[in-house]
């Protein structure tokens, strides 16, 4: 069922993206008469909330999509989930431009490269569209706010703490990340480094490698090169969820299971095979489905002119959501530690 659903979703996304790129191709919503949006596109009577992930086709962002669809159904709005099959800032810009022409009410995006998307955030706002970030921020932009899975500091420091415990608080560690421009990934790495410097003087981060588009194949190659260059390596950190399989497979193929610890920000479905095989003990995560729900709920609030409270009770979410007025951040909650005891409790 999941494979059929993902294939159908991919087909629909391809059609939608193609349609959006063609001049004069306009969609109609479900609710009421069509009217022209400020950006010149056809706008239905239903509020349209769009989300642009870093890439589609991986369990993490698919879970965010499911959460967004659930929120859209609960709140009576239309949800547009559209992204590229590889993490590519240029593709995000094209999709944003298409959504602006369609005249949606709000756009959220998981930012890959703020220098590329910041001008289009301003362009959308000039067209009367609310724009905010989710999953990955662009604090240097004019975005209205950020829907965060957990604080960047907690995510970075928690990962370093968990890895340190696994390797006895000493040894060489390598990092394999996604795109070098991804704001969220770089911020998490910076807090890992701070935690290491402040608490673990006997741990050395020997190198940080990046992969174009968060490619699992490139991650495997980078992890292999790190283990070759540093034969006494004790740990590997896979920062992007899409790089986790490549890093874990590299350790498995090199016969270093139990010798080189692997940890990262992988979804439960992504890391389960490697936890089961013993390559990984833990992954740092959050409830991606809940993040997708919060993303759409937040968009509806701003479109309707409602203000966030310091603590927000969101129907459809189990726990309250906090608002930081200073940083303009909606915070889903604390990091979630995925291990053998709970990896089967989640379906993303």
Q: Is residue 207 part of a domain?
A: yes
Q: What is the mean pLDDT of residues 203-224?
A: 95
Structural domain including 249 reads 152-285
Q: Is residue 343 part of a domain?
A: no
Q: Clarify whether residues 215 and 292 are in a common domain.
A: no
pTM greater than 0.85 (yes/no): no
Q: Clarify whether residues 137 and 43 are in a common domain.
A: yes
Q: Clarify whether residues 165 and 266 are in a common domain.
A: yes
Q: Is residue 49 part of a domain?
A: yes
Q: Clarify whether residues 263 and 273 are in a common domain.
A: yes
Is residue 156 a contact partner of residue 129, using CB atoms and an 8 Å limit? no
Q: Clarify whether residues 96 and 222 are in a common domain.
A: no
Q: Clarify whether residues 192 and 252 are in a common domain.
A: yes
What pLDDT sits at residue 45? 82
Q: Is residue 342 part of a domain?
A: no
Number of domains within the chain: 2
Q: Clarify whether residues 253 and 277 are in a common domain.
A: yes
For residue 235, how far is the Cα from the chain centroid?
Answer: 23
Q: Clarify whether residues 46 and 63 are in a common domain.
A: yes
| Domain stop point among 266, 285, 304 | 285
214 pLDDT tier (thresholds 50, 70, 90): confident
Q: Is residue 339 part of a domain?
A: no
Query: Rounded distance, CA 287 to CA 336, Å?
Result: 8
CATH number, domain of 213, equals: 3.40.50.2300
Q: Clarify whether residues 217 and 156 are in a common domain.
A: yes
Q: Clarify whether residues 110 and 98 are in a common domain.
A: yes
Q: Clarify whether residues 131 and 227 are in a common domain.
A: no
Q: Is residue 64 part of a domain?
A: yes
Structure tokens at 231: 């034969």
Other C-beta atoms lying within 10 Å of the C-beta of residue 233? 23
Is residue 291 a contact partner of residue 135, using CB atoms and an 8 Å limit? yes
Q: Clarify whether residues 191 and 96 are in a common domain.
A: no
What pLDDT, in 10s, does the model give residues 30-77? 333 223 333 344 445 899 999 999 999 998 999 999 999 999 999 999
Q: Is residue 306 part of a domain?
A: yes
HSE at residue 145, side-chain half, CA atoms within 13 A, is: 21
What pLDDT, in 10s, does the model give residues 93-126? 999 999 999 999 999 999 999 999 999 999 999 9
């Amino acid at each position: 069922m999941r494979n059929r659903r993902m294939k159908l979703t991919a087909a629909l996304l391809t059609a939608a993206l193609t349609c959006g790129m063609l001049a004069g191709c306009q969609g109609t919503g479900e609710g009421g008469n069509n009217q022209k949006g400020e950006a010149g596109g056809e706008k239905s009577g239903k509020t349209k909330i769009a989300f642009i992930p870093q890439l589609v086709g991986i369990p993490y962002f698919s879970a965010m999509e499911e959460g967004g669809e659930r929120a859209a159904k609960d709140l009576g709005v239309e949800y547009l989930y559209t992204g590229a099959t590889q993490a590519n800032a240029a593709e995000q810009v094209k999709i944003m431009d298409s959504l602006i022409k369609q005249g949606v009410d709000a756009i959220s995006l998981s930012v890959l490269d703020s220098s590329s998307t910041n001008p289009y955030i301003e362009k959308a706002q000039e067209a009367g569209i609310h724009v905010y970030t989710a999953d990955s921020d662009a604090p240097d932009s004019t975005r209205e706010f950020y829907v965060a899975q957990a604080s960047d500091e907690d995510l970075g420091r928690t990962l370093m703490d968990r890895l340190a415990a696994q390797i006895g608080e000493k040894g060489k560690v390598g990092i394999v990340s996604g795109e070098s421009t991804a704001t969220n990934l770089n911020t998490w790495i910076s807090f890992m480094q701070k935690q290491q410097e402040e608490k673990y003087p006997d741990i050395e981060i020997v190198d940080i490698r990046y992969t174009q588009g968060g490619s699992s194949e490139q991650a495997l190659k980078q992890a292999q090169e790190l283990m070759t260059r540093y034969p006494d390596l004790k740990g590997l950190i896979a920062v992007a969820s899409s790089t986790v399989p490549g890093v874990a497979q590299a350790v498995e193929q090199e016969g270093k299971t139990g010798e080189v610890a692997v940890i990262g920000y992988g979804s439960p479905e992504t890391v389960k095979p490697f936890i089961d095989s013993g390559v990984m003990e833990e992954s740092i995560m959050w409830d991606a489905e809940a993040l997708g729900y919060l993303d759409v709920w937040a968009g509806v609030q701003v479109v309707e002119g409602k203000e966030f409270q310091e603590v927000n009770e969101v129907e459809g979410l189990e726990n309250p959501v906090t608002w930081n007025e200073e940083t303009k951040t909606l915070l889903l909650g604390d990091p979630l530690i995925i291990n053998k005891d709970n990896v089967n409790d989640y379906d993303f």
